[in-house]
Amino acid sequence: MSQVSPQTMANAIRALAMDAVQKAKSGHPGMPMGMADIATALWTRHLRFNPQDPKWSGRDRFILSNGHGSMLQYALLHLTGFDLSMDDLKAFRQLGSRTPGHPEVDITPGVETTTGPLGQGIANGVGMALAEKLLAAEFNRDGFPVVDNRTYVFLGDGCLMEGISHEVCSLAGVWKLNKLIALYDDNGISIDGDVRGWFRDDTRGRFEAYGWNVIGPVDGHDINAVDQAIAQAKESAEKPTLIICRTTIGKGSPNRQGTAKVHGEALGDEEIAATKAALGWTYGPFEIPQDVYAAWDHRAEGAKVEKEWQQTYAGYKAAYPELAKELERRLAGDLPDQWDAAVMDAVCQAAEAAETVATRKASQKALNALAPVLPELLGGSADLTGSNLTNWSGSTSLNTGDFHARHISYGVREFGMSAILNGIALYGGFIPYGATFLTFSDYSRNALRMSALMNLRAINVFTHDSIGLGEDGPTHQSVEHIPSLRLIPGMDVWRPCDTVESVVAWASAIERRDGASCLIFSRQNAAFIDRDEVDADAIAMGGYVVAEAPLGEGEAQVVLLATGTEVGLAMDARAKLAALNINARVVSMPCTNRFDRQSTEYRQSVLPPGLPVLAIEASKTDLWWKYFTGRGDVLGVDSFGESAPAKDLWIKFGFTVDNVVSKVEALLQ
């Protein structure tokens, strides 16, 4: 048995944090030094993981919500035996390293989510804990707890000050996520100094009001006390737990501990030497003695724990082979065998019905067709289910306390909802989506960005897409939102024009495994587009010729390029232009992001070089100009809307057949 003391093990974390930040001349040493003892208690006595199999599904999840202290996690991963070398630590914050400034999922083995924007880590943790509870309810059987892990979150004052923490922690209490355990680094310091000048919440009272179990304050530098608090938290049968750990930021630094000075800058060689002396750490930069490595090494224990789980799973698989097969499929992210047929049936049904409905209703029809063959589809809405139409026939609601539910009411918590979706997607076993009005995507914005940054299979649904929602006025009428969402790297933004495109949009978002999607739907009716041929593959390309120039065999003189409900306007204008002997091609572009990834040859076949183009979309005009290789113009909305019936607003802002015709005539002149 190791003779290395737990305190020495914690000091190894402090030393690595100081050395890496000093070498990089950038970073946050204070939090890793302050939370080193807490981390030692959790990682050596409670956390269930296998460093040699970071993706083992039975592992506990660990989230560093206060992600600026990333060297804490990197030190832990290195010391416990993950594939993260000392050279990786020496490359902290350098170009191309596996130790970036904030933890990034799929960059560093053992990192479960990308953190840094404060509050979103705890939100992801709530999503993971919810996914675990839902998946366990569906798949576990007596004697076979194959889905059975805890989610541990480290968080600080900044996470608790961010409003998103209120949204998601309230929900965690409602959902009784008892396997969620958060450890709060209560050090009283943020970048501007002593937090009492701006943060005096009764944190205990706040979390008790949410329905959480609250332990502490405990001495965050007493490893045994933290150990006992975690053990107590694990006994909670119905409530998530917050453990309040009183700590000193920069613990061990003689001249900087307990001050903002140690929060976000290197200590300097002189102060590091003084700190190591005070800690009794006699080793040089990046030097860890073998006995300390041996004390931290978790590979043998991790392999043992995983083997025990594998034995349980083997028994489960023998007793319930079909359940095991389904669980494996879902955790792998594969779609069911009947998926392709269900999509084609839904497309054909939409084409045959030829309904003129709002695309939010078309979306619900698509869900009714697709959800029955996709048990992993997990929906929700931020208190707008009846407006977003995100539920479907036969779907059950989590509101009832039934954890076999497939639809979640998140309440008026748009940001929290989107960040929870990210956590669910990270956990696996579900394809999550959540919905609100498009204008409230502003509230969700940073979670949407994180979803794209992490390449998550998460779907955000936004309805009431433009001035077409009418009387609610400019506070609710989205103008800049669609273009701004398209600007997020890696985000696919779909705005379908009718029932057929709505099915393809849903299918494309569900099938996408390498990134996030937004689906934009209308409140106003969308005319069904009467196509000569329904080509789902062409629609899935993001942009396609929905109607060719109608006048004989003559080539098109102009392209009408439109999205959403405005495709119907383009089709009507095409007919009137034909009466004026002007040959117009109509291109529907439900997803500019998808279209932009197509080959040059394909894009030029849809938008021939040099051909005049009129783009039509009820949103800001700026992004459409990139599609013009010759003359071009945009019919859009570059000001806020107004409160009035939609029919009056379309006229006021120029979305009429006559105005489209006039703009085309001006282009051709």
523 belongs to an annotated ligand binding site: yes
157 belongs to an annotated ligand binding site: yes
Domain 338-526 has CATH 3.40.50.1820: no
Residues 6+ away with beta carbon under 8 Å from 208: 214
CA end-to-end span of the chain, whole Å? 88
Q: What is the pLDDT of residue 274?
A: 98
Of the options 3.40.50.300, 3.40.50.970, 3.40.50.460, 3.10.129.10, the CATH number for the domain spanning 6-303: 3.40.50.970
3-state secondary structure of 434: strand
CA dist., res. 395 & res. 319, Å (int): 28
DSSP string for 377-421 = EEEEESS-HHHHT---TT--BGGGT-TT-SEEE--S-HHHHHHHH
User: Which of 162, 414, 501, 617 is the catalytic position?
Assistant: 414
Distances (CA, A) of 644 to 480, 618, 656: 19, 16, 17
Structure tokens belonging to residue 49: 């993981």
Q: What is the pLDDT of residue 2?
A: 57
Average pLDDT by stretches of 10, the chain with 669 residues: 87 98 98 98 98 98 98 98 98 98 98 98 98 98 98 98 98 98 98 96 98 98 98 98 98 97 96 98 98 98 98 98 98 98 98 98 98 98 98 90 94 98 98 98 98 98 97 96 98 98 98 98 97 94 96 87 98 97 97 98 97 98 96 97 96 98 97
Which residues are registered as beta bridge partners of 242? 182, 214
Q: What is the pLDDT of residue 1?
A: 43
Question: What is the DSSP-derived secondary structure letter of residue 217?
Answer: E
464 belongs to an annotated ligand binding site: yes
CA dist., res. 155 & res. 160, Å (int): 8
Calculate the dihedral angle through the C-alpha atoms of 434, 435, 441, 443, rounding to the nearest 10 degrees.
-70
189 belongs to an annotated ligand binding site: yes
Question: What is the DSSP-derived secondary structure letter of residue 253?
Answer: -
Q: What is the pLDDT of residue 553?
A: 67
In the chain, domain spans: 6-303, 338-526, 536-668
Closest CA to 454 of 495, 478, 417, 488: 488
Cis peptide before 217 (omega within 30 of 0): yes
158 belongs to an annotated ligand binding site: yes
Domain 536-668 has CATH 3.40.50.720: no
Evaluate whether 6-303 and 338-526 have a shared fold: yes
Task: Mark whether 414 is an active-site residue.
Answer: yes
470 belongs to an annotated ligand binding site: no
286 belongs to an annotated ligand binding site: no
263 belongs to an annotated ligand binding site: yes
Structure tokens belonging to residue 285: 């930069």
